[in-house]
Each structure stands twice: as C-alpha cells, then as structure tokens.
Amino acid sequence: MSEINLFSALLIGLAGGLHCIGMCSGIAAALRFATPEQDNHWPYTLSYNAGRIISYTLFGALAGTLGQLSVMSLPHALPLLKLTSGILLLAMAAYLGRWWLGLRKLEQLGGKVWIRIQPLSKRFIPFRHPVAALPYGMIWGWLPCGLVYSALSWSMVSGDARQGALIMLCFGLGTLPALLAASIGASWLVSALKSNGLRQTVAGLLALYAVLLLATLFVSHLQNMPVQHH
C-alpha cells in the first residue's frame, strides 16, 4: 500500500493522542483508584495500555482480511476503499480540529455495541494483579472512537491481515505518549497537549495530508482511464 505506511500510522496515532487526552484520560486516571494502594501503578498502567493496543491490532487484522475479501470478490473495491479512507482521514482532521464533528455519528453506532461490552470490564476491578489490567484494557479498546474507526479504514485498504494489524499497532503506539502523560499526572504536559493551538496545527497537517492522498488517488485514476481513439 503506497498511500500510507507504518510511520504515517504512528503519526496519525500521535495526532489522535490529542483526542485521547480528552476522551480517555479520565479512564487512565481512574486506573490509579483500581490499583492496590501499596502497589506501583506503572505495571497496571502498562498492562492496561497493552490490552488496549492488542484490541486495536486484532481489529486491524480483521479489517485487513475484510479488505482482502472485498478486493477479491468485488470489482473496483480497492479504489472505493482508498477513497473512503481518504475521506475518513479528512473527517478525522476536521474532528480533531473541531471544525466538523460528523465522526460522532460513527461513535453513536459503535455505542450500541459498547453498551453490551462495557459491563464485562467491571469483573476485573479492583485489580489484584497487573495481569488483570490486560483484559480490562482489551475491553476498553472497544470504546467508540471516530479516530479509531478512521484508522481502521487504512487497515482495510491494506488488503492484508498482517499489514492491517501492523497499521493499527503503530496507531495504538502513537496514542500511548498522551495517555501515559495522563496516567502519571503530568498536568503541564496534558495542558500542553490540550492547547487549541497545537490541536489546530495537527488537524491542519492531517487535513493537508488527506487532501494530498485524495489528489494522488484522483490523478492515478485519470492515468489509468482507457484512452479513447476516434
């Protein structure tokens, strides 16, 4: 897949981390209250985030497989998947910059599944061991998030389970710094990440990236059109 690579997925995850600060930082902070008071909270925090990233990776593998099946069975599926991914990336930028919040509709759809899954996480708290935070994080990886759905579209475009999994792994790793900052209570860093100026800058760069990808797709389509001879 030439349009996006693993480094790009990592950068998108870093950008998504700005959104995660607002959406998930409360969850990360709550881990401290679920952790035994006498224990070091770091193993629990890392275990939780490992579980969350494992879920993303599994989703990526599934999306890559679905993309492969679509390309094999449907004509013109790959260009349509690429177009959808570019549009979703643009929507992600608009969502991050709070210019347009259309991705919330996807989150509302995901919320119907989340209502059924979220109660399962309560079985693992309070944590008795860091390992208990792993399945807890895997369940919270299902939290409805438009940015995750947008990133998953790139896994689908990859048309390969392994590549799709790697894309979401890199995306998940990209979100890690922001959530770890929230977990350790680095208020100055959290405040910096929440700043509107940084948010608008990153959103603008993502939007530019999305427009370039869509333009590349359009040019490629024109080049592949058959030439009509009169």
31-47 pLDDT, tens digit per residue, is 777 888 888 888 999 99
Measured CA to CA, the distance from residue 147 to residue 106 in angstroms comes to 10
Q: What is the percent of the chain with per-residue pLDDT over 90, rounded to a whole number? A: 30
Q: pLDDT at residue 4 above 50?
A: yes
Measured CA to CA, the distance from residue 174 to residue 61 in angstroms comes to 18
Paired tokens of 171 = 């995306």
Q: pLDDT at residue 175 above 50?
A: yes
Asked whether 174 and 14 are in contact (CB, 8 A), the reply is yes
pLDDT on residue 139: 94
Q: Does 191 or 125 have the greater pLDDT score? A: 125
Q: pLDDT at residue 84 above 70?
A: yes
The contacts of residue 228 (CB under 8 Å, 6+ apart) are: none
Burial class (CB in 10 A: 0-12, 13-18, 19+), 128: exposed
DSSP symbol at 124: G
Asked whether 193 and 20 are in contact (CB, 8 A), the reply is no
CA nearest neighbour of 132 among 42, 48, 37: 48
Q: pLDDT at residue 183 above 90?
A: no
Give the chain's mean pLDDT. Answer: 84
CA nearest neighbour of 202 among 190, 212, 210: 210
pLDDT on residue 166: 93
The contacts of residue 71 (CB under 8 Å, 6+ apart) are: 77, 78, 81, 159
pLDDT on residue 32: 76
Q: pLDDT at residue 1 above 50?
A: no
Q: Does 189 or 154 have the greater pLDDT score? A: 154
pLDDT-derived band at 145 (thresholds 50, 70, 90) equals confident
- pTM for the model stands at 0.86
